[in-house]
Structure 1
Amino acid sequence: MDESQARNDALRAAAPAAIVIDGVARQFNSRGQSVTALDNVNLQIGDGEFVSFLGPSGCGKSTLFMIVAGLLAPSRGEVRIAGRRVDRPVTDIGIVFQQDLLVDWRTVLENVLLQAEVRRLPLAPARERARQLLQQVGLAGFENRRPWELSGGMRQRAAICRALLHDARILMMDEPFGALDALTRDQMNLDLQALWSQTRRTAILVTHSISEAIFLSDRVVVMSPRPGRVILDLRIDLPRPRTIEMRDSAEFVAYQKQLRGMIGAH
Structure 2
Amino acid sequence: MARPSPARPADLNPDRSLATIEVNGITKTYRTRTGAVNALAEVDCTIKRGEFVSLLGPSGCGKSTLLRIMAGLSSSSSGSVIIDGNPVIRPQTQLGIVFQSPVLLEWRDTLGNVMLQAEARGIDRRVALETANRLVKQVGLAGFERKRPSELSGGMQQRVAICRALLHDPDIVLMDEPFGALDALTRDQMNVDLQHLWAQGEKTVVFVTHSIPEAVFLSDRVLVMSPSPGRIDLGLRIDLERPRRLATRDSPQFAAYCSQIRNAFTKRGVLREEPLA
Query: TM-score interval w.r.t. the shorter chain?
Result: over 0.9
Q: Distance in 2 between matches of 1:159 and 1:265?
A: 37
**Residue type of the alignment partner of 2:260:** Q
Is this contact kept in 1: 2:19–2:49, CA < 8 A? yes
Where does residue 4 of structure 2 map in the other structure? none
Q: Deviations over 1:89-148 (max 9, x none)?
A: 001111111110010100100100000100111110100000000001110111111111
Where does residue 160 of structure 1 map in the other structure? 162
Is this contact kept in 2: 1:17–1:47, CA < 8 A? yes
Q: Deviations over 1:205-260 (max 9, x none)?
A: 00000000001000000011111111001000001000000101000000000001
Where does residue 186 of structure 1 map in the other structure? 188
Deviation at 1:169, TM superposition (A): 1.2
- Normalised by the length of structure 1, the TM-score is 0.94
Where does residue 89 of structure 1 map in the other structure? 91
Q: Distance in 2 between matches of 1:13 and 1:85?
A: 18
Unaligned runs of 5+ in 1: 1-11
Which structure 2 residues correspond to residues 121-132 of structure 1 after superposition, within 5 A?
Answer: 121-132=123-134
SS in 2 for 1:172: strand
Deviation at 1:183, TM superposition (A): 0.4
SS in 2 for 1:265: helix
- Paired residue for 1:217, among 193, 216, 219? 219
Deviation at 1:175, TM superposition (A): 0.7
Where does residue 7 of structure 1 map in the other structure? none
Q: Distance in 1 between matches of 2:201 and 2:16?
A: 18
**Residue type of the alignment partner of 1:233:** G
SS in 1 for 2:115: helix
Where does residue 172 of structure 1 map in the other structure? 174
Deviation at 1:15, TM superposition (A): 5.4
Which structure 2 residues correspond to residues 1-266 of structure 1 after superposition, within 5 A?
Answer: 16-266=18-268
Deviation at 1:264, TM superposition (A): 1.9
Is this contact kept in 2: 1:15–1:47, CA < 8 A? no
Deviation at 1:199, TM superposition (A): 1.2
Following TM superposition, the consecutive aligned residue runs of length 4 or more in structure 1 with deviations greater than 4 angstroms are 12-15
Q: Deviations over 1:141-183 (max 9, x none)?
A: 1111111100000110111000000000111111100000000
Is this contact kept in 1: 2:100–2:177, CA < 8 A? yes
**Residue type of the alignment partner of 2:213:** S
SS in 2 for 1:166: coil
Deviation at 1:185, TM superposition (A): 0.3
State the number of aligned residues.
Answer: 255
Q: Distance in 2 between matches of 1:222 and 1:250?
A: 21
**Residue type of the alignment partner of 1:236:** I
Deviation at 1:32, TM superposition (A): 4.0
Q: Distance in 2 between matches of 1:255 and 1:153?
A: 27
Overall identity of the aligned pairs, in %? 58
SS in 1 for 2:155: helix
Q: Distance in 2 between matches of 1:112 and 1:263?
A: 38
Is this contact kept in 2: 1:222–1:231, CA < 8 A? yes
Q: Distance in 1 between matches of 2:96 and 2:63?
A: 18
